[in-house]
Structure 1
């Protein structure tokens, strides 16, 4: 059988599925991607509303991700970089804290900020240098503990943890108790230290769009829902049966594969609300944090502090809420507006849109950085991909997609060799 005759299906056109298609194409195959929605991206999408670019949740690309460096053309994404730090709103004041070794403009604000002690700032420098020399395999083979106990063990003061680490990393981990594995903390911290947080000029969806645009021999079936996957067969919602030599499931597999029904992934959720404001209270490309206990708001960011391909007439503010405290609708929006005014002095904001994201990040234990291609194989013909296989990151989504494709390549190559 010729390579182009193999029916290889990929379920899910998110980043993981697109990377799997890329690797298969590079090796002469013609994969078919089945996607339930009308476009690529999965959880990585952008809408244009009132001229503003609204990402599905506040998302960033860490430029130090090894897999992103391998598969993305950063130059054509026209990445807009965040400053390495944060603006912290405390007791009616705004204080900037950041890495002055990477951006000199943050030197004096960081030294003068009433966040943490001098000892905390020295410990941050020590942590930076420790993680510079620690390899990713070392990070992911270390004993796991919560990020909170890890920071306590390093000797950081309660104030430093409450005012900076907790609000900053809660926005990344999507939980506000720093229960996430210390492996993930070290990995993300190392990535921040070795590169930048950035957004493509046309929004986060530019990433999957770039990946799909590079695919020449892949067929996409959009608005097509899969109800079940068997070893050599895919059944669609309209009862159509597709013959499949190999299938990569690059989406939540538990509802599609019968023997996984009791192994569904737990997910972390969040809400992101977008507002149009008259002015900006943060003038630089810094994330704003509110460390006060009991507040809904986890972080804020003015997207108009970065260059964007399209923009409305005023300022665009995103607000991320990790725990909505069971508030919904108008009550939720009004509470967020009240907190913006009370803690940040932000008034006169027009609500644009709310994204409630129930499956924002997988809740995982025993986090891994990488896996063998063979470890993606579930049955003779079915393979699993997606960040759920390793850790909740864009980097993990890419690696798992690559590994699933490599597993199929190995199997096909071995079967061709054995027939010679």
Structure 2
């Protein structure tokens, strides 16, 4: 059978599915992507509302991600860079903590920030050195413990963990107790250390859009729902049955495959609010953190501190809530605006939109960085892809999509 004659279907047009299609095309195949929504991206999307670019949740691209460097064209994404640090709102004051070795403008504010003690700053240098020397395989083979206990064992003071590490990494891990695996902490910290947090000029959704535009021989079926997957057969919700030599499931497998119906994945959620603001309280491209226990707001960011494609006369502020305390949308919105005023002295001009994201990050243990292509194979003709296979990151989503496609290719090459 010729390569172009193989019927290879990919379920889901998120990052993993798009990467799988990319790898298949590079190897001469012509896959079909089936997507339940009307566009690509999955959890990585950007809306245009009232002249503003609103990402589905506050997300960044870390330039040090090896897989992102391999498959994304950073130059055409027109990446806009965050400064390596954060502004912390505490006790009515606003202080900035950052890495002065990477941006000298952060030197004095960091030295006199009052966040942590002198010993903490020495330990940050030790942590930097340790993780710079540590390989990915070493990070992901280390003993797993909670990030909180890892930081305690490293010797950081309670104040440093509470005032900086907890609010900063809670916004990344989407849980506010730092229960996430220390492997994930070391990996993310190393990525921040070796590169920069960025956003494409057109918003985070430009990442899947770039991958989509680069696909030349892939067929897309949008607004199409899959209800079950079996060997060589895909059933749609209109009872259409598609013949498939190989299927890559680049979305959650729960409910689609008979023997996986009871293996439901646990997820972390978050809420992101967007507000129009008159003036910025944080002038530089830094995230803002509120370390006070019991507050709803985890982090804030002025998206207009970076260059964007869309322009406005006012400022765009995003607010991320990791734990919504089961409040109604109305009460949550009211409380967030109260906290903005109380802790950050921010007056809202106008509420723009809210994104409640129930499936923001998978809750995983025994985190991995890599896997062999055939490890993605569930059955002879069904393969899995997605960050749920490795760790909750864009880098993992890319790697898993690549490995699933390579698994299909390897299986075909071994056929008699």
Q: Please indicate, yes or no, whether the TM-score normalized by the shorter chain is above 0.5.
A: yes
Superposed CA deviations along residues 114-163 of structure 1, whole A, max 9, x for unmatched, are 10000001100110111001000000000000000000000000000000
Report what 2:219 is aligned to: 219
Report what 1:159 is aligned to: 159
* Structure 1 CA distance for aligned equivalents of residues 386 and 25 of structure 2: 19
Once the 2 structures are TM-superposed, how far is the Cα of residue 414 of structure 1 from its aligned partner?
Answer: 1.4
Superposed CA deviations along residues 8-53 of structure 1, whole A, max 9, x for unmatched, are 0000000000000000000000000000000000000000011000
Over aligned residue pairs, what C-alpha RMSD do you find?
0.5
SS state of the match for residue 316, structure 2? Answer: strand
Once the 2 structures are TM-superposed, how far is the Cα of residue 311 of structure 1 from its aligned partner?
Answer: 2.4
Q: Is the 8 A contact 2:3 2:28 kept in 1?
A: yes
Report what 1:195 is aligned to: 195
* Structure 1 CA distance for aligned equivalents of residues 15 and 285 of structure 2: 26
Q: Is the 8 A contact 1:386 1:396 kept in 2?
A: yes
Report what 2:83 is aligned to: 83
Once the 2 structures are TM-superposed, how far is the Cα of residue 350 of structure 1 from its aligned partner?
Answer: 1.1
Q: Is the 8 A contact 2:275 2:348 kept in 1?
A: no
Report what 1:210 is aligned to: 210
Superposed CA deviations along residues 72-114 of structure 1, whole A, max 9, x for unmatched, are 0000000000000000000000000000000000000000101
* Structure 2 CA distance for aligned equivalents of residues 169 and 141 of structure 1: 21
Q: Is the 8 A contact 1:53 1:311 kept in 2?
A: no
* Structure 2 CA distance for aligned equivalents of residues 13 and 85 of structure 1: 33
* Structure 1 CA distance for aligned equivalents of residues 106 and 53 of structure 2: 28
Report what 2:101 is aligned to: 101
Once the 2 structures are TM-superposed, how far is the Cα of residue 329 of structure 1 from its aligned partner?
Answer: 2.2
SS state of the match for residue 126, structure 1? Answer: helix
Report what 2:381 is aligned to: 381
SS state of the match for residue 70, structure 1? Answer: helix
Q: Is the 8 A contact 1:296 1:336 kept in 2?
A: yes
Once the 2 structures are TM-superposed, how far is the Cα of residue 328 of structure 1 from its aligned partner?
Answer: 1.6
SS state of the match for residue 141, structure 1? Answer: coil
1:235 aligns with 2:235: yes
SS state of the match for residue 87, structure 1? Answer: strand
Q: Is the 8 A contact 1:13 1:34 kept in 2?
A: yes
Once the 2 structures are TM-superposed, how far is the Cα of residue 327 of structure 1 from its aligned partner?
Answer: 1.1
- Aligned structure 1 segments of 4 or more residues deviating by more than 6 angstroms: none
* Structure 1 CA distance for aligned equivalents of residues 361 and 349 of structure 2: 29
SS state of the match for residue 176, structure 2? Answer: coil
Q: Is the 8 A contact 1:62 1:192 kept in 2?
A: yes
* Structure 2 CA distance for aligned equivalents of residues 358 and 348 of structure 1: 26
Report what 1:169 is aligned to: 169
Once the 2 structures are TM-superposed, how far is the Cα of residue 202 of structure 1 from its aligned partner?
Answer: 0.2
* Structure 1 CA distance for aligned equivalents of residues 94 and 38 of structure 2: 42
* Structure 2 CA distance for aligned equivalents of residues 108 and 26 of structure 1: 50
Q: Is the 8 A contact 2:287 2:300 kept in 1?
A: yes
1:258 aligns with 2:258: yes
Superposed, which structure 2 residues align to 1:20-419 within 5 Å? 20-415=20-415, 418=416
Once the 2 structures are TM-superposed, how far is the Cα of residue 348 of structure 1 from its aligned partner?
Answer: 3.4
Q: Is the 8 A contact 1:7 1:245 kept in 2?
A: yes
* Structure 2 CA distance for aligned equivalents of residues 315 and 255 of structure 1: 43
May I ask how many residue pairs the two structures share in their alignment? 416
SS state of the match for residue 53, structure 2? Answer: strand
* Structure 1 CA distance for aligned equivalents of residues 35 and 165 of structure 2: 37
Once the 2 structures are TM-superposed, how far is the Cα of residue 234 of structure 1 from its aligned partner?
Answer: 0.2
Superposed CA deviations along residues 248-298 of structure 1, whole A, max 9, x for unmatched, are 000011110010011111000000000000010000000000000000000
Superposed CA deviations along residues 338-384 of structure 1, whole A, max 9, x for unmatched, are 00000000013311000000000000000000101011000010000
Q: Is the 8 A contact 1:183 1:367 kept in 2?
A: yes
* Structure 1 CA distance for aligned equivalents of residues 54 and 268 of structure 2: 21
Comparing 68-77 with 348-357, greater Cα deviation is found at 348-357
